[in-house]
Amino acid sequence: MKPLLRNLAEMTAHRDHLRLEVSVVSTLLLQGRETRVRALEMVTRDAETWLRPRSWSDGERIVTSELEALDDPAAIALRCLPELARCIAAGGKSAERIDEHGHTLWMPVWLGERAHACLEITQPKAFTRHQRDVVSGVHLVYQNYQSLLDYSERDALTGLLNRKTFDEQFTRQSGADSWDARHGPDAPSQWLAVVDIDHFKRVNDQFGHLYGDEVLILVANQLRSLFRAQDRIFRFGGEEFVVLLRSATLAQARQALERLRVAIESHAFPQIGHISVSIGFAGAYGGAPVEIIGRADQALYFAKEHGRNQVRYYEDLVASASLKQKVAHDEVELF
Ligand SMILES: Nc1nc2c(ncn2[C@@H]2O[C@H](COP(=O)(O)OP(=O)(O)OP(=O)(O)O)[C@@H](O)[C@H]2O)c(=O)[nH]1
């Protein structure tokens, strides 16, 4: 098989966005010995769009950044690349620049109406027609395949990440941001929260499933707008959502979840009026994902049993022996 076809086949064998990106960079490098390729991630910081190198060719190897996108000092503001800024504003496919670095071709990667990344190819000589055809073909395959991948990772109703994607995201985040007991409880850490709409069955029963769906979409939108870009939000099915909060102290996590609870409580849902959510959360460390979800779930059930519309932290409940009491109570009920 020709190298380009082999690389295209290899590209579409990946089910992971980062590996796919690395594979695309490696495919584009086939354009020539002097070609340099970078995949730039687009992030919003202080209401401004930035591009930061996420994967790039470094001589023989392809390197992937280990830095947090928002903290990356190599990020460059989109306004500093006016050709690309104009292209993105117009929803375009490519932009070019010729300067002391050579000929640069940028190709934004669109996901729906949003450009979330950009491929950058630089070489000393002008791009030939053949090179342009190959590069735009690879770019198109990449973009289409990434849309498919993204579609398979999302819940169809709310557009949030689905249950299936949770384990992989969890492992990736906890690997990059694991809690260290030596840093103490005030150190930034990772938290897992389970958010459940209170008495959601009543919404369906009183107003019908379509209104129930509308509530789920509006709650999902609130979740998206209230958490930061590095946090991850999942719909676990039904009226249950899971949030992975990253790099937050316990106080910050508590505050963010409380903010969510208040936002939902005070939102007037069309026709339905007011609803509330109960939230249980736990540190996302010290166990397998299923154990951590189990802890957050216990805190959630405690919140449900004690009046709903509240945020409960697993460790607080253990410290006050509230969860132990519940286990003892369940045992009494069982026998
Ligand atoms: N509209 C709609 N309803 C759903 C969906 N998935 C699950 N449900 C409904 O969500 C409701 C969940 O109800 P329960 O688990 O009994 O709990 P609840 O009424 O929210 O009460 P508490 O959790 O105890 O506060 C059920 O009526 C399900 O039919 C969905 O995608 N759309």
- Cα 71 to its chain centre, rounded Å, is 16
Per the residue annotation, which of 113, 239, 258, 305 is the catalytic one?
Answer: 239
Closest CA to 258 of 190, 215, 195: 195
Task: Tell me the pTM.
Answer: 0.79
Question: Same domain, yes or no, for 133 and 182?
Answer: no
One domain, residues 19 and 117: yes
**Atom nearest to 204 CA in ligand 1:** 1
Tell me the one-letter amino acid at 179. Answer: W
CA of 193 to the centre of ligand 1 (A): 18
Neighbours of 126 (CB within 10 A): 11
Q: Confidence class of residue 47 from pLDDT cuts 50, 70 and 90?
A: confident
- Dist CA 106 CA 39 (whole Å): 10
Same domain for 174 and 134: no
Q: What is the DSSP string of 144-166?
A: HHHHHHHHHHB-TTT-SEEHHHH
Please state which of the ranges 81-85, 88-92, 173-177 shows the lowest mean pLDDT. 173-177
Looking at the CA of residue 205, tell me the nearest atom of ligand 1: 27
Give distance in angstroms: CA of 238 to centre of ligand 1. 6
Find the range with the poorest average confidence among 59-73, 110-124, 176-190, 278-292. Answer: 176-190
| CA dist., res. 222 & res. 263, Å (int) | 8
Ligand 1 centroid to residue 196 C-alpha, Å: 9
Pocket flag, ligand 1, residue 200 (CB < 6 Å): yes
Range of the structural domain that residue 230 is part of: 161-334
Rounded-to-integer distance, Cα 85 and Cα 77, Å: 10
Residue pLDDT, tens place only, 161-201? 999 888 877 876 665 444 444 355 666 688 999 999 999 99
Q: Which residue among 83, 118, 153 closes a domain? A: 153
Tokens 């292209």 belong to: 87
Residue ending a domain, among 122, 153, 184, is 153
Give CA 146 to chain center in angstroms.
Answer: 14
Question: What is the pLDDT at residue 41?
Answer: 95
Whether residues 129 and 168 share a domain: the answer is: no
Q: For residue range 303-317, list pLDDT tens digits in order.
A: 999 999 999 999 999
- Dig out the tokens for 163 from the structure: 């249950």
What CATH number did the domain enclosing 176 receive? 3.30.70.270
Which atom from ligand 1 is nearest to the alpha carbon of 212? 1
DSSP string, 241-283: EEEEEEEE-HHHHHHHHHHHHHHHHH--BTTTB---EEEEEEE
Instruction: Grade residue 236 by pLDDT with cuts at 50, 70 and 90.
Output: very high
Q: Computed from CA positions of residues 64, 66, 68, 70, in that sequence, does the dihedral angle turn out positive or negative?
A: negative
Q: Is 68 assigned a catalytic role?
A: no
In angstroms, what is the span from residue 167 Cα to ligand 1's centroid? Answer: 24
- Cα separation of 335 and 333, whole Å? 6
Residues 138 and 196 in one domain: no
Asked whether the beta carbons of 298 and 280 are under 8 A apart, the reply is: yes
Pairing of strands 311-313, 277-283: parallel
Quick one: which atom of ligand 1 is closest to the CA of 196? 23
Q: Which two tokens stand for residue 276?
A: 């509330």
- Does residue 126 share a domain with residue 207? no
Q: Which residues, including other chains, have CB under 8 Å from residue 171's CB and lie 6 or more apart? A: 289
Determine whether the shortest distance from the Cβ of 196 to ligand 1 is under 6 A.
Answer: yes
Same domain, 254 and 189: yes
State the distance from the centre of ligand 1 to the C-alpha of 195, rounded, in angstroms.
Answer: 13
Q: Are residues 223 and 127 in the same domain?
A: no
Q: What's the total number of domains in the chain?
A: 2
Cβ–ligand 1 distance for 208 under 6 Å, the answer: no
Q: Which of 121, 153, 185 is the last residue of a domain?
A: 153
Residue of 155, 200, 204 best suited for mutating to test ligand 1, as the one with most atoms within 8 Å of CB: 200
- Whether residue 155 has its Cβ less than 6 Å from ligand 1: no
Percent of the chain with pLDDT over 90: 63
